[in-house]
Amino acid sequence: MASKVIMPKAGMAMEEGKVVKWLVKEGQKVETGEPLLEIETDKVNMEVESTASGVLLKILAQEGDTVPVTQVIGYIGAEGESIGEEAPAKTTEKKTEIAADKSGEEYDVFVIGGGPAGYVAAIRAAQLGGKVALAEKSVVGGTCLNRGCIPTKTYLKSAEILSQITSSAYRGISVDKKAVAFDMKQARKNKADVVTRLTNGVKSLLKSNGVAVFSGTGIAKSAHTVEVGGKIYSCRSIIFAGGSMPGRIGIPGIDSRLVMTSDEALELEEVPTRLAVIGGGVIGVEMGLAFSEFGSEVTIIEMMDRIVPNMDEEVSATLAQELKKKGVTIMTSARLKQITESAKGLSLELDGGPVVEADKALLSIGRKPDLSGIEPLGVTVEKGRVKVDEHMRTSVSNVYAPGDVNGLCMLAHAAFKMGEVAAENAMGGDAVFEAKNIPSCIYTMPEVGAIGLTEKQAAQNREIQVGRFPFGANGRALASGEGAGFVKVITDKKYGEILGVHIVGPGAAEMINEASVLLHMEVTVDELANIVHGHPTFSECLYEAGADAAGKCIHLPKK
């Protein structure tokens, strides 16, 4: 599909622009980021860069034409590609103004939700010259900063330090384990301090970009109006970024006061003696590991046949093995039937299995989109998720829904990018969200990082070559006492295309970003095997696994 070239909105007050000169002629090739044309606004002359690579198929606005902002002035695409219906761009009529309600103001973009998708969208829209408002019912930063990514990583760092202290004897460091004490209240305070610092940082970013922030629940009353705290605000576009909430299951006893979501678990002031974790996904294994190191007797109950079932099977097996070494009990293919509360705590009854006794239970079966605030618009919703296209646009043309609400990829870093895409399109752009290669990370000990196809997925419709390299053969890993795990590189056997990278081991969450670049740049495995990596480093394992897939790994025995 041909990409549109539009008259950009280069300032808050800009309503139209004049085409001064096209720098590329019809039929000529242009690359993303190359100057495409020069325009004149009421303040400055500026060059407009191409947002796509291809051939300039058609110019709709000629030199000297004055065009409203966001009006299509040309098309870029593959040579000979059809652009569909064309319309003349020359006009001096200004866009229809949206009359503001007496109780509110008018904005170019109104963002509902201040999480990763929402606050990023607000800032990006402001960078593009928009007058932007954001409504947040709690604290900016959303689940990620307040109740998810950041708090759990803070606890996991405490767990890592505890693990290192209590296992330091082999390094010649003697520690009286009886003297090592963990203070849950202080850990909680540390977590709160980190969260406050980051959320204050987001507030400062919003303020510095001129975003009006309203405290309260934003409700989209129509395609051009948002209500916050009883006031109605008008806007040209709405970006709905409501985020997600913890999932629930309908079994007897699930509403017990002793059954927590991750939100409540992060506010505990005492470490439970026995903790049952319902769900062996990312949240379950991270929280389970943290509380195990804090001193809880942890049992993870997973309905599927393995923990973190979305990961590569070898990764799941290795992570399970390492968690068991740390004292975590893992029960797979286990379906929870009911929960009974008594004076002694909780009894979790499994179908055809034993009863798990616990003082508290953590419900961690994933998250679901929070659609409160968008219902009045009647946007298309499928399976509890807002349906969007690659531009983050909903079934209502000027309403966008980035982040967890659309269920495409419920990760904070994916939400960041979706927020940017939504903002650029709300401001008249033609940005696209590519969901193909988004890395996933689990911050356990050892860490997990993954991107692309698993080995099983890749083998379904092509001949593949798999390269592996164990951290047990890596100098840095052995010196650090972290030899568990491996790097796996999956490639297309015929062309050497890297299809997926899966890591379980030290630094996996950092190393996977290099793999992300490799896949994005379409680097082949032979090219990876020629890239020099520093020594000794954990990331040498990625290089070695690539070399193994290419059949020339030096540091593995001959096959």
CA neighbours closer than 13 Å in the CB half-sphere of residue 464: 20
Sketch out the chain's domains with CATH numbers.
3-77 (2.40.50.100), 101-245+366-438 (3.50.50.60), 259-365 (3.50.50.60), 446-549 (3.30.390.30)
Q: Alpha-carbon distance 469 to 551, whole Å?
A: 12
Instruction: Assign 3-state DSSP to the chain and report helix, strand, coil percentages, each to 5.
Output: 30, 30, 45
Task: Give the pLDDT confidence of 323-349 residue by residue, as tens digits.
Answer: 999 999 999 999 999 999 999 999 999
Q: What is the mean pLDDT of residues 496-505?
A: 97
pLDDT band at 97 (very low <50, low <70, confident <90, very high): very low
Q: Report residue 95's pLDDT band, with 50, 70 and 90 as the boundaries.
A: very low
For residue 59, how many C-alpha atoms fall within 13 Å in the half-sphere facing its CB? 16
Q: Read off the pLDDT band of 167 (50, 70, 90).
A: confident
* Nearest Cα to Cα of residue 81 among 55, 106, 61: 55
Peptide bond connecting 446 to the previous residue in cis, omega within 30 degrees of 0: yes
- Residue 355 · residue 346 · CB < 8 Å: no
In this prediction, residue 48 has a pLDDT band, given cuts at 50, 70 and 90, of: confident
Contact (Cβ atoms closer than 8 angstroms) between residue 537 and residue 476? yes
The span from the CA of 96 to the CA of 70, in Å, is 13
Q: Count Cα atoms within 13 angstroms, Cβ side, for 192.
A: 10
Locate tokens 């909430």: which residue? 245
Q: What are phi and psi of 262, to 5 degrees?
A: -60, -30
Residue 102 corresponds to which amino acid?
K
Q: Are 55 and 82 spatial neighbours (Cβ–Cβ below 8 Å)?
A: no
* 256-298 pLDDT, tens digit each: 999 999 999 999 999 999 999 999 999 999 999 999 999 999 9
C-alpha span between 377 and 360 (Å, rounded): 40
When the pLDDT of each residue in the chain is averaged and rounded to a whole number, the result is: 91
Residue 16 in tokens: 């139209």
Q: How many CB atoms lie within 10 A of CB 13?
A: 11
Q: What would the mean pLDDT of 380-402 be, rounded to a whole number? A: 96
Active site residue 413: no
**With b meaning 16 or more CB within 10 Å and e meaning fewer, what string describes 339-366?**
beeeeebbbbbbeeeeebebbbbbbbbe
Would you state the structure tokens that stand for residue 350, as one six-digit string? 């499994």
pLDDT at 10 (0 to 100): 64
Burial 276-292 (b: 16+ CB within 10 A, else e): bbbbbbbbbbbbbbbbb
Average pLDDT over residues 59-81: 86
Are 544 and 486 a contacting pair, CB within 8 Å?
no
Which residues, in sequence order, are CB contacts of 507 under 8 Å at separation 6+? 447, 538, 539
Q: Which two tokens stand for residue 340?
A: 């009974």
Residue of 152, 103, 136 lying closest to 217 (CA atoms): 136
Residue tagged active-site, from 391, 413, 502, 535: 535
CA 35 to chain centre: 31
What is the pLDDT, as a whole number, of residue 285? Answer: 98
* pLDDT for 448: 98
Q: Which of 241, 61, 283, 46 is CA-nearest to residue 153?
A: 283
- Other CB atoms closer than 10 Å to residue 58's CB: what's the count? 17
pLDDT in tens, 9-37: 765 556 788 899 999 999 899 888 788 98
Per-residue pLDDT, 217: 94
The neighbour count for residue 377, using CB atoms within 10 Å, is 18
> Which residue is associated with the tokens 């209500």?
227
- Mapped onto helix, strand or coil, the DSSP state of residue 234 is strand
Residue 534, burial from CB neighbour count under 10 angstroms (0-12, 13-18, 19+): exposed
pLDDT digits (tens, 9 = 90+) for 501-534: 999 999 999 999 999 999 999 999 999 999 999 9
Amino acid, single-letter form, for residue 60: L
pLDDT of residue 104: 55
What pLDDT is attached to residue 94? 35
Q: What is the 3-state secondary structure (H, E, C) of 387-455?
A: CCCCCCECCCCCEECCHHHHCCCCCHHHHHHHHHHHHHHHCCCCCCCCCCCCCEEECCCCEEEEEECCH
User: What pLDDT is attached to residue 87?
Assistant: 45
Higher pLDDT, 89 or 283: 283
Q: 301 in helix, strand or coil?
A: strand
308 touches 431 (CB < 8 A): no
Q: Phi and psi dihedrals of 120, rounded to 5?
A: -65, -45
Query: What pTM value is reported for the model?
Result: 0.81
The pLDDT value given to residue 71: 84
Q: Summarize pLDDT for 404-450 with one digit per residue, the tens.
A: 999 999 999 999 999 999 999 999 999 999 988 999 999 999 999 99
How large is the average pLDDT for residues 205-232? 95
Across 213-250, b (16+ Cβ under 10 Å) vs e yields bbeebbbbeebbbbbbeeebbbbbbbbbbbbbbbeeee
